[in-house]
Amino acid sequence: MLKGKQSWVFQNLPVIAAAGVSGGPFEANGNLSEDFDVLHDDLWMGEDSYEKAHRILLEEAGQTALNKANVQKEDVQFYIAGDLINQITPSSLSARTNKIPYFGIFGACSTSMEGLALASFIVNYRGADYVLTGASSHNAAVEKQFRYPTEYGGQKPPTAQWTVTGAGAALVSAKAAGPNMPVTTSATIGKVIDMGLTDPFNMGGAMAPAAADTIIAHFKDMQLDPSHYDLIVTGDLGRIGQETAYELLTNDGLKIDREKFKDCGLMIYKDDQPVQSGGSGAGCSASVLYGHLLNQMKRGAYRRILVVATGALLSPLTFQQNESIPCIAHAVSIEMT
């Protein structure tokens, strides 16, 4: 059901039946390593290119979710996935492997919640019994496409963020939720916001206005107060972007408890890991939500959370044509039964 101008309410409460998370060696040394289902000890993952390794991450996360739910891929009606690489090639190759009817989507680092929102919408209206959705990124593959190959040894500024090598996938089900199960209750679809920033090494600053815009729209559409949620978590604004978003929200009159406003890019790595402003990438919010946050919800740490994944919709083409960076954010609310 449409509520307000840009939000959906999922009256039938689609269930996140299971989730899977895979990661790389840097994530294995990170703050949330225990919440990953699969961790690799090298970036190649047995493949001869980083892009092929990227595909492996998403395949593993999706298969893990299916295994946990004891559901066969033949019983899944749709697969919704995306990543950051040219023409979302790793996601399409993973769809070639699982042979599930496929929607390929691109929302940059907002892809995780774009996929979860669409999966929930389809399931809510009985368009499917099961929808598998996921998002992924690979540090070495993404860095060489959007910035410089790591072998180049370029010095990064403090505003830069570290692309997560990871994937998160969830199986969204139309079956009635049992006790202590996560369900999606609503989604707010963001607008493209472009404040004229052009620095590809300051994604957090570029995305912060889009995050604030979607959060404000969510509470306006849903007629809720921020205290409704135990946690409001952004995707990958990093240190600079999160502070900027919080200031924008405060200036707009939205009072959010600072301790309940967190960022996946600041949660995934340890303080002594050299990630500058924090983590980023389409796999950042996907792996943190489908691993750490859902685990925390099942343990009773949170009852209701709002996940706001943010994306910078730049590309090599936009940079070559001297365009500024358009950004977007999508929000999904998740509750425990």
- Return per-residue pLDDT of the chain as tens, 337 residues: 999 999 999 999 999 999 999 999 999 999 999 999 999 999 999 999 999 999 999 999 999 999 999 999 999 999 999 999 999 999 999 999 999 999 999 999 999 999 999 999 999 999 999 999 999 999 998 876 666 556 556 667 767 888 999 999 999 999 988 889 999 999 999 999 999 988 888 889 999 999 999 999 999 999 999 999 999 999 999 999 999 999 999 999 999 999 999 999 999 999 999 998 899 999 999 999 999 999 999 999 999 999 999 999 988 888 788 899 999 999 999 999 9
Residue 309 bridge partners (DSSP): 330
Q: State residue 148's pLDDT score.
A: 59
Residue 154: its pLDDT value, please? 64
Answer whether 0.85 is exceeded by the pTM. Answer: yes
Per-residue confidence (pLDDT) for residue 150, from 0 to 100 = 62
pLDDT score recorded for residue 133:
98
User: In the chain, what's the furthest Cα-to-Cα distance?
Assistant: 52
What's the confidence (pLDDT) of residue 178?
Answer: 86
- Cβ atoms of 205 and 125 within 8 Å: the answer is no
Site of tokens 């593959």: 141
* Residues ≥6 apart with Cβ < 8 Å to 304: 228, 229, 230, 231, 333, 334, 335, 336
Angle between helices 50-69 and 89-98 (to 10 degrees): 40
Note the pLDDT of residue 152.
Answer: 54
pLDDT at res. 19: 98
Token output for 36: 């990953």
Exposure b/e, 40-50, CB count within 10 A at least 16 = b: beebebeeeeb
User: How much is the pLDDT for 200?
Assistant: 81
How many residues does this entry show for the chain?
A: 337
What is the model's pLDDT at position 319?
79
Task: Note the pLDDT of residue 151.
Answer: 59
Contact 283, 166 (CB under 8 A): yes
Count of CB atoms situated within 10 Å of the CB of 275? 24
Q: What gap in Å lies between CA 84 and CA 108, rounded to an integer? A: 6
Nearest to 132 by CA among 35, 63, 39, 51: 63
DSSP secondary-structure letter at 191?
P
Residue 286 has phi, psi (to 5 degrees) of -65, -45
